[in-house]
Structure 1
Amino acid sequence: MTRVAHISDLHFGRTDLELLDPLIEAVNGAKPDLVAVTGDFTQRARRSQYEQSRAFLERLNAPWLAVPGNHDVSLDNLFLRFFRPYGRYREHITREMFPVHHADGLVAVGLNTVDRFRWQRGKVRWRQMRQACKIFSETDPDTICMVLAHHPFEQDDDVKKSLMRDADKAIERFSECGAHLVLSGHLHRWRAEPFLSRKNGRKVLQIHVGTGLSTRLRGQENDFAILDLEGSEARVTRMVARDRRFASAGTRLFRFGETGWREDGKEDRGEGDGQRATG
């Protein structure tokens, strides 16, 4: 079995500091094989916020894989935003803008979906998509292929933020080239289900977590996910912050078959699991 902890949108600079130690303890306590961080380490891409982000990463016991979010590119410093958008991210987090993680039974790739010209919306980088698909096509068929991206490739109708252009085409391409899961953040809300936009062929499973630490909530609690992957099964547990600690809000079981992923009953659907924000 491979265990992945998925966290996102830490937003150092606007965090609930009382949740910092509980989040680290919960992630380390889960003993994951990999921690996947899908962007927005900082609130305004300032050095002090990046230093806090790096200190957080250094407290993780497991290896981690990360991608930037739109908040990791400066909004108010236009010189940095347009001419050195990833300078501080590369300095403090990682120089890899297309990170790849190989392990027994798992290959994970990280995509940079940040668009410095459209600060919030994000974009699909087709060159990275082709690189990811090449890796997946050369991977053993029994290996789980996972994608990390900050911006979602599908979202609920009530979300006011604009979806990335060509996001539906990107999911079609990922389905065709062998991707199994896509992990994302950005919206500060929870979603775990196969992509609805995949009408034909193999359905890809999306795991979309909210914010691990930020006070900028969207009608839901701070949370992260624990994914237990084994063979054709994926158990997805939502870990929610309540009473200053992170605890399970329920686990959902998905199975992979000829048409992709489908939910197989409800394993311990805890309070709050699967709920969607309306604001």
Structure 2
Amino acid sequence: MSDLHLGAHRQEAVDSLAADVAASAPALTVATGDITMRAREREFRQVRDLLDQLPGPVLTVTGNHDVPLLSLRRAFAPYARYQRWIDEELDPVLRIPGLTALGLQSMPPWRWKDGRVSPQQAAKVVRVLGAAPPGDVRLLALHHPPLSSPLLGRRRLLSAVRAARVDLVLAGHTHVPDVRVNGRARPVFVVAGTATSRRVRGVGCSWSLIAVDPGGVVVRERVLGNEGWHTARVVTLSAAGS
């Protein structure tokens, strides 16, 4: 899931999201940034409450809205509230049986809204995911989609993704769900829509349920309608990338 934008949210989406996610019994829940609207203290408290309701483990990363907009805090303590309420680690690593996951903090405070991946972060992709046990799903999560946003360091990131044999790259930012490959069977790039925000763009509130096995990847887009959450689209990518 991505782009919760708590502080500018649909309450019915917030109230029903955790139960819909839990019904699928996921091995891992991922939130790819913009979890708040303006990085305010009360918004982070709301996010903390929602994350505590989601089935764990939960991996989160920051987005451009999770950094204070116009204040000295952006210059001197841009991630302090995120680290207090969500996770002290900005590039978190999470390992569970069968899966190794890495999150990247792609929002430097000196960028307005577009992201950056540093050489050190690209090296961490290779070091962490490239060393995952054989057979593990190798998952990378960041806010800015590498294939469809002006991400500084995009080439170095994609090179690291290839070197580390990453299976899934998860992102958000656009508020429009998307699934694609970049000329190869893996990785599969999945962009989640906005899970709870009022700022929808052609698609209602949505999140993506992803299943991975040796035969391929299946992505089910869950959308909030008048009768609750339902699967609006299913994308199946075989191991051959078709």
Percent of pairs with identical residues:
29
Match of 1:251? 234
In structure 1, the residue corresponding to 2:59 is in which secondary structure?
strand
Which position in structure 2 is the counterpart of 1:41? 35
Q: Distance in 1 between matches of 2:186 and 2:212?
A: 17
Partner of 2:15: 21
1:112 is aligned, of 105, 112, 131, to 105
Match for residue 218 of structure 1?
201
Equivalent of 1:124, from 111, 117, 130? Answer: 117
Q: CA deviation at 1:136?
A: 2.1
Native 8 Å contact 1:175 1:202 kept in 2: no
CA drift of 1:137 comes to: 2.2
1:173 aligns with: 160
Residues of 2 paired with 1:244 and 1:66: CA distance?
29
TM-score normalised according to structure 2 size: 0.95
Q: Is the 8 A contact 1:237 1:252 kept in 2?
A: yes
Match 2:84 to one of 70, 74, 91 = 91
The CA RMSD over aligned residues, in Å, is 1.5
2:213 pairs, out of 230, 255, 258, with 230
- What is the distance in 2 between the residues matched to 1:208 and 1:248? 16
Tell me the residue number matched to 2:172. 185
Assess if the C-alpha contact under 8 Å between 1:18 and 1:244 holds in 2.
no
Q: How many Å apart are 1:166 and its aligned residue?
A: 3.1
Distance between the aligned counterparts of 1:152 and 1:61, measured in 2?
Answer: 25
The SS at the match of 1:42 is coil
TM superposition shift of 1:165: 2.2
Deviation at 1:203, TM superposition (A): 4.1
User: Any idea what SS the aligned residue of 2:239 has?
Assistant: strand
Residue range with higher mean Cα deviation, 216-225 or 64-73: 216-225
Amino acid at match of 2:81: R
Between stretches 53-62 and 88-97, larger displacement belongs to 53-62
CA separation in 2, counterparts of 1:54 and 1:39?
Answer: 13
- CA distance in 1: counterparts of 2:129 and 2:153, whole angstroms: 21
TM-score by length of 1: 0.83
Contact residue 233 and residue 256 of structure 1 kept, 8 A: yes
Distance 1:217 1:251 in 2: 20
Q: Which runs of 4+ in 1 moved over 6 A?
A: none
Aligned residues: 242
Distance 1:244 1:153 in 2: 34
> Which structure 1 segments of 5+ residues have no match?
1-6, 156-161, 264-279
Residues 55-94 of structure 1 deviation map (CA, whole Å, 9 limit, x = unaligned): 00111132100001110000022x1101100000000001
1:106 is displaced (CA, Å) by: 0.9
Within a 5 Å distance, the mapping from 1:147-166 to structure 2 comes to 147-155=140-148, 163-166=150-153
Distance in 2, matches of 1:99 and 1:244, equals 36
CA shift for structure 1 position 238: 0.6
Q: CA deviation at 1:250?
A: 2.6
